[in-house]
Amino acid sequence: MRASRGEKHLSGEETLVPRRDARRTVRTLLSRPVENGTESDKIVLTRERIDGKSVREVAALPVRSLEFGEVGPAREEMRSLLILSGVSPEAAAKGLRHIGRRPIAGAAILDAVTGDRLDPKPSKGVRVTRVGWAPRARAAQVRALAKSGVRHHRAIEALALASKISRSGAVAEVCRSDDPAYLAGYAASKKIGYVRLTPVKEGGDARGGRAVFVKRREARAVISFLVERPVVVDRPGSVGA
């Protein structure tokens, strides 16, 4: 689902569900832009049937949440986590700048060494599609997150996306919400898992985005995995401090 107003991207969401849940899911997705308090003048929803045999099943990344008193130290920790995952300091800085700009519909693909943009349409980015939770795993993950005080649907959706992205061959990923009222963001990779950080922006700021860092020679393969490969998250990730 993509919601926009004029040329401006407002919100988007993907999911992959068993056929019997398709109708209900369509209704939920169509209600999101209203829920976010944004007024879209166009919503595009694509429903697509996927061949079950092509689906890859993965476990969710383990989750940790870090709370900071201010934005500065939270962003500094985000930067360190990217570097720990194998991103160069220069590329990490470019990624953090990207997620502080006006949102685009998809993720920016960045060279993990130079920080150069590698995706073919920089004004759009790459939309990570064909990913969703197996219903039982989702319910278990929702319970585990709730126990640690995380209740927003953004967290569960972002965790599915990050779990797919971490299996794409990408080095790491960083994300900040474009919802002006949602102040959490995360850094993720196979090495560090899914690390939520709060606050990564000041309230009222509608800038945000997602940057995926890759080895330059693998960019094409990563992009095709992100867009095409159906992935179901069928096991919840551990939730720690």
Which residues bind to ligand PML, rule: CB under 6 A?
A: 152, 154-155, 158, 175, 177-179, 184-186, 196
* Among ligand PML, Mg ion, none, residue 154 binds (CB under 5-8 Å by kind): ligand PML
Query: 199 preceded by cis ω (within 30°)?
Result: yes
* Among Mg ion, ligand PML, none, residue 196 binds (CB under 5-8 Å by kind): ligand PML
Q: What's the min distance (Å) between Cβ of 48 and ligand PML?
A: 21
Q: What's the min distance (Å) between Cβ of 177 and ligand PML?
A: 3
Distances (CA, A) of 87 to 110, 161, 214: 10, 19, 9
Site for Mg ion in 2-41 (CB under 5 A): 11
Cβ atoms of 183 and 52 closer than 8 Å:
no
Token duo for residue 194 = 């899914």
Site for Mg ion in 138-177 (CB under 5 A): none
Q: How far is CA 59 from the centre of its chain?
A: 16
- Between 55 and 206, whose beta carbon lies closer to Mg ion? 206
Q: How far apart are CA 159 and CA 196, in angstroms?
A: 10
- State which amino acid sits at residue 151: R
Number of residues lying near Mg ion (CB under 5 A): 1
* Among ligand PML, Mg ion, none, residue 187 binds (CB under 5-8 Å by kind): none
- Between 11 and 168, whose beta carbon lies closer to Mg ion? 11
- Between 111 and 199, whose beta carbon lies closer to ligand PML? 199
Q: How far apart are CA 63 and CA 120, in angstroms?
A: 31
Q: What's the min distance (Å) between Cβ of 107 and ligand PML?
A: 11
- Between 104 and 111, whose beta carbon lies closer to ligand PML? 104
Integer-rounded Cα radius of gyration of the chain: 17
Cβ atoms of 83 and 89 closer than 8 Å:
yes
Burial of residue 93, with CB atoms counted within 10 A of its CB: 0-12 exposed, 13-18 middle, 19 or more buried: middle
Q: What's the min distance (Å) between Cβ of 217 and ligand PML?
A: 29
Q: How far is CA 189 from the centre of its chain?
A: 12
- Between 14 and 179, whose beta carbon lies closer to ligand PML? 179
- Between 45 and 221, whose beta carbon lies closer to ligand PML? 45
The binding site for Mg ion (CB under 5 A) comprises: 11
